[in-house]
Amino acid sequence: MGVEPSLVAEDLSVEERIRSIESPVWIGYGLAVEIRDRLEHLLEYPKTHRMPNLAIIGESNNGKTMLLENFVRRHSSDTNPALDRSLLPVVMIQTPPSPDEARLYSALLERLFASGPQREPAEVKLSRLQRMLRELKTQMIILDE
């Protein structure tokens, strides 16, 4: 498997090389690939009344968010012009600092570029959110704490 010509270090400027070195890098070590495969399985899981879930627990700065971001990138929005709408199979947000239903819905709506009035009731936010997620055919919501 060769390297794309546009990614060869000699073709990059010094600034581009530095930016490349400083950028986050996915390292697919065994456990990370196993967790990502488990997420893939959950994404393909047939719809049931009580869907399975997964909690990934570990020390800070050990790659949990990077693993999730890698998974989300693999399932980014489908912008196929032949479709009549965009699809967003996976949505990931950083959870609010306090456990508050309305703030969680607000964070999800902001991620979908659909934030509403600050004082909008939680049940109204939930209703809008459910409608949007159905239209986007979202299959998985990832909450990164």
Residue 78's pLDDT band (boundaries 50, 70, 90)? low
Separation of alpha carbons 100 and 106, rounded Å = 10
Q: Which of 102, 110, 108 is nearest to 130 (CA)?
A: 108
Per-residue pLDDT tens for 34-47?
999 999 999 999 99
pLDDT digits (tens, 9 = 90+) for 115-136: 999 899 999 999 999 999 999 9
- Radius of gyration of the chain, Cα coordinates, nearest whole angstrom: 18
Distance CA 45, CA 52 (A): 8
Contact 104, 96 (CB under 8 A): yes
Provide the residue type at 68 as one letter: L
Joined tokens for residue 48: 């049931």
**Can you read off the two tokens belonging to residue 64?**
């949990």
The mean pLDDT value for 48-53 works out to: 95
Provide the percentage of residues in the chain whose pLDDT is more than 90: 69
